[in-house]
């Protein structure tokens, strides 16, 4: 009797497992298709470009804010460790959009980086030249502001 019970229990468990897999198919159902942005994307629309532009604008704004923070630090305490930390923040923020800018706006990318990388480098230099950092931060901010006007 115990052996029969095991066979029946095993059959029920196996049947439940098999039945639970019956609804899985390689085709997504309607609800999944409606919620998927890829499935509904109109190939004629420019939403991808618009989203990229928005990401770039947000990233550039963040870089500008980081540079303003660096300038504020220089004009108040000029704490070497804080300046270095803020330089790293600028670098990290730029890194988040750098590839997109390079791919979509190669000329602007080169122009921005002519001042941005020396700014980041100087902020990490143990013997910081505060005047040089000020000049580079102003030039970088100006380039980024002009770039923002170009991004559509």
Residue 56 gets the label, from left (phi > 0), alpha (psi -120 to 50) or beta, of alpha
pTM for the full model?
0.65
3-state secondary structure of 26: coil
Contact 123, 129 (CB under 8 A): no
Q: Residue 151 half-sphere exposure, CB side, CA atoms within 13 Å?
A: 29
| d(C-alpha 35, C-alpha 40), whole Å | 8
Contact 151, 60 (CB under 8 A): yes
Q: What are the backbone angles phi and psi of residue 129, rounded to the nearest 5°? A: -95, 95
Cα–chain-centroid distance for residue 105? 17
Q: Over 80: is that where the pLDDT of 44 sits?
A: no
pLDDT digits (tens, 9 = 90+) for 96-139: 999 999 999 999 999 999 999 999 999 999 888 999 999 999 99
Q: Which residue has 């629309």 as its token pair?
A: 45
Diameter of the chain measured on Cα atoms: 92
Q: How confident is the model at residue 38 (pLDDT cuts 50, 70, 90)?
A: very low
pLDDT digits (tens, 9 = 90+) for 56-93: 999 999 999 999 999 998 888 778 899 999 999 999 99
Cα–Cα separations (whole angstroms), residue 137 to 4, 21, 31, 42, 56: 82, 60, 50, 41, 19
What count of other Cβ atoms lies within 10 Å of the Cβ of residue 49?
11
């Amino acid at each position: 009797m115990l052996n029969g019970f095991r066979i029946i229990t095993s059959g029920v468990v196996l049947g439940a497992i098999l039945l639970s897999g019956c609804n899985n198919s390689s085709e997504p159902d309607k609800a999944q298709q409606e919620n998927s942005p890829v499935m509904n994307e109109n190939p004629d629309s420019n939403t991808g470009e618009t989203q990229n532009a928005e990401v770039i604008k947000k990233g550039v704004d963040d870089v500008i804010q980081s540079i303003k923070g660096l300038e504020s630090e220089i004009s108040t305490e000029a704490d070497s460790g804080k300046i270095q930390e803020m330089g790293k923040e600028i670098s990290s923020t730029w890194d988040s959009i750098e590839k997109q800018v390079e791919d979509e706006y190669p000329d602007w990318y080169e122009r921005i980086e002519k001042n941005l990388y020396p700014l980041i480098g100087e902020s990490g230099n143990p013997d910081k030249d505060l005047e040089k950092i000020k000049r580079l931060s102003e030039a970088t901010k100006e380039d980024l502001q002009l770039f923002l006007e170009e991004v559509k």
